[in-house]
Amino acid sequence: MHFKTSFGFIILLLTVLSCQQKNIETQEIAIIPQPNSIEVSKTFFVLNHTTGINYDNIFEISADFLKSYLESGGIEVKSGNNITFIEDKNLQKEAYSLNVIEDSIEIKASTDQGAFYAVQTLRQLLPVEFENASFKGNQVNIPSVVIEDSPQFAYRGMHLDVSRHVFSLEFIKKYIDAIAMLKMNTFHWHLTDDQGWRIEIKKYPKLQEIAAYRDETLVGHYSDQPHQFDGKKYGGFYSQEEIKDIVAYAQEHFVTIIPEIEMPGHSQAAIAAYPELGCTGEKVEVAKKWGVFEDIYCTNDETFDFLEDVLDEVLELFPSKYIHIGGDEAPKTRWKSCANCQTRIKEEGLKDEHELQNYFITRIEKYLNSKGRQIIGWDEILEGGLAPNATVMSWRGTSGAVEAAKSGHNVVMTPTSHCYFDYYQSDNEDEPLAIGGFLHLEKVYGFNPIPEELTSEEAQYVLGAQGNIWTEYMPAEDQVEYMAFPRMLAMSEVLWSDSEQKSYGDFVKRLESFHKRLDALDINYANHLYEIESNIIEEDGEIKLELNSLVKEGKVIRVTLNGDKPNYESRVYTKPIVIDTSRTIKAAVFKFNSNEKLGKTIIQNINYHKGVGGKIIINKQPHKAYSGSGSKGLINGISGSNSRFGDKEWLGFWGEDIMVEIDLGEEKEIKSIETRFYNGNGQWIYAPKEILVAFDNEQYQSFKLDDDGSLISFKSHFLDQSAKKIYIKVQNYGTIPEGKQGAGHKAWTFIDEIIIN
């Protein structure tokens, strides 16, 4: 009997069989990323010491990987026809089919790369103990399956910033291992920035001597004032021999490494080594804090000679089609006052400094094109016109991708809203320090790399997407892993699996099983599967708190309403809790009929103020990337996180003034109104300078706001004030000033709960 599933999660009893079949284990099917189709039978292929592998040279890498993997698990394989690699030229480059029956395993592919992905799938049909050579049996039952599989996107990547913090060669290889295991094919290696130059360039030894090291490093968060430093010299770089070793290792795993050499901005480390590369010629230091800096490459010929020399050595090390040249966050302050740059503008007939940036990027592109390579850059390379053959990596939302695709340029999607894995991933206040934001697993999984504004023809220019790991706040390798996993797994499924067959609930079930594999691989991951999500809902004319957990099978939610910690004696949550007063609710997931608590206790503070249950209208829609729980979330009795401005309670608006109208339903006495704004300037977020408040048809009152700190609170008291409707005008900060991150762009406004007492 066969059955078919599009979700790829079939639990086959993980057990030791009868006495006659002792030491033969079966393995559950919980494959990530989910295959396009899978048929499962009730029979098994028995893997043991009699198993042999047969393959032609075209499958040498994939077959050798499988052989080494099996032998590391204690199963010595021989030459034979039990496992056969078969060339099928009808399959696409990265596609494969895997057919496991009682007496054989067939892997079909048109390339070694396709076969390699088949091996990664077969790997997940084996016990996790194979990952760390702890398997003690001598035989394994592999379930009979027929899998037909191919990726949805050609570009499936992960990024890693080693400029802010350096990581060992062993860790880089481990990172590549994970990329390959998840059928991703690109490693974007961010090698240079203001805080450090990490690649050996033999023609310019000061890059290793000076640019690779900073005198000290910022302690705490960039938003903390005043800034504190650790007083310790920090740095390092990868030699060309080490890079060759990494590139060869990646090639053995069908991972292409795209190096990033930042220009014209994020270049202060290089200018510290060679001051003549800057506009002033003055000595600067390698940056010791994060952010955007005004010292960027000058546009004189000496700078281009330097960059061409650097790129010549980079091209010798990296065979990739693309070279990433950055292009982002380049303040034009120095260019505006630089005689060389102003002369360049006049001689080239350029309109302004933005067109000068286009000149810069286009000149570098022409040089790389002459060497048979192409450039890829962040979406700022659109400024002043897009270089002719450039590919755009869209990070500031999707508008850059839409513009580029509509112009016939290839695009890689990596918007902050879904792809920045340096953002917080949980509401827990004890999460490791991060840059800010909030990007939970489900949001990553729900990412659609094709912007809705594109036609089907334009959508073909979207090559794929990648997850980004910026490491300002990740000094340790285990912290990088914690931020990457399991979000990397979700991204792999976004890019590989058929979107019409995807199910987040099913993914979570497979992820719970996959955690065992991550444990065996000694990968530190964030386990938020047993956390509880809370939502305020309106039901039967009442305001209620609804609780949900991701993993439900064999688990219950226990809850207390008086602020005590939940335990086995606490009530079991069965239906939404009526909210008619302020209270602290705590809840946690427990194993069914057990006192074993899974995950952390959530604490939900309900502030039952006069606005809760009212009606609210905002004249502008919040940005779709930061829409929280909608406008109703501003009067639901729950305040947002103190550090995660992207959670479901904060609403984000980009460059817009907003008008909030709150209808209390009846006239009520108003003693005070309060709210707060996020002021994370490093993330382009600015609190308004003032807000205006009016009641019913009265005139607006103006209130100035302080701008000190990352959270700006507003609270005003009123005497003898009653109203049915409250109007609040929030004026956007405006354009971000020169010298700040995002200079020249519109500021974001983030607003939290509006509390009415």
Q: What are phi and psi of 336, to 5 degrees?
A: -65, -30
Is 187 strand, coil or helix? Answer: strand
CA 197 – CA 271 distance, rounded (Å): 11
Q: Which of 193, 353, 365, 458 is catalytic?
A: 193
For 289, counting Cβ atoms within 10 Å of its Cβ (0-12 exposed, 13-18 middle, 19+ buried), the class is middle
Cis peptide before 432 (omega within 30 of 0): no
**Cβ atoms of residues 432 and 485 within 8 Å:** no
CA 303 – CA 334 distance, rounded (Å): 15
Angle, CA 252 vertex, CA 251 and CA 253 arms, to 5°: 85
84 forms beta bridges with 54, 106
Whether 329 is a known active-site residue: answer yes
Tokens coding 144: 């009979």
583 forms beta bridges with 606
CA 19 – CA 207 distance, rounded (Å): 66
Cα four-point dihedral sign 81, 85, 89, 90: positive
**CB-CB neighbours of 431 under 10 Å:** 17
Helix H, strand E, coil C: the string for 474-504 is CCCHHHHHHHHCCHHHHHHHHHHCCHHHCCH
Tokens coding 10: 């079939």
**Cβ atoms of residues 38 and 7 within 8 Å:** no
Cα four-point dihedral sign 415, 419, 421, 423: positive
Cis peptide before 264 (omega within 30 of 0): yes
Is 694 strand, coil or helix? Answer: strand
Whether 266 is a known active-site residue: answer yes
- Determine the residue type at 757: N
Cα four-point dihedral sign 147, 148, 152, 156: positive
**What's the residue count for the chain?**
757
For every residue of 151-183, DSSP letters joined together read: -S-SEEEEEEE-SSS---HHHHHHHHHHHHHTT
Residue appearing with tokens 């406004």: 749
DSSP category for residue 653: E
CA 83 – CA 115 distance, rounded (Å): 12
Cα four-point dihedral sign 539, 544, 549, 552: negative
Q: Which of 221, 253, 266, 623 is catalytic?
A: 266
**Cβ atoms of residues 511 and 32 within 8 Å:** yes
Burial per residue of 325-348, b for 16 or more beta-carbon CB atoms within 10 angstroms, e otherwise: bbbbbbbbbbbeebeebbebbeee
CA 198 – CA 20 distance, rounded (Å): 58
CA 658 – CA 679 distance, rounded (Å): 17
Q: Which of 149, 260, 328, 329 is catalytic?
A: 329
Q: CA distances (Å), 235 to each of 292, 295, 314, 422, 602, in order?
A: 19, 20, 20, 21, 39
List the catalytic residues.
193, 266, 329
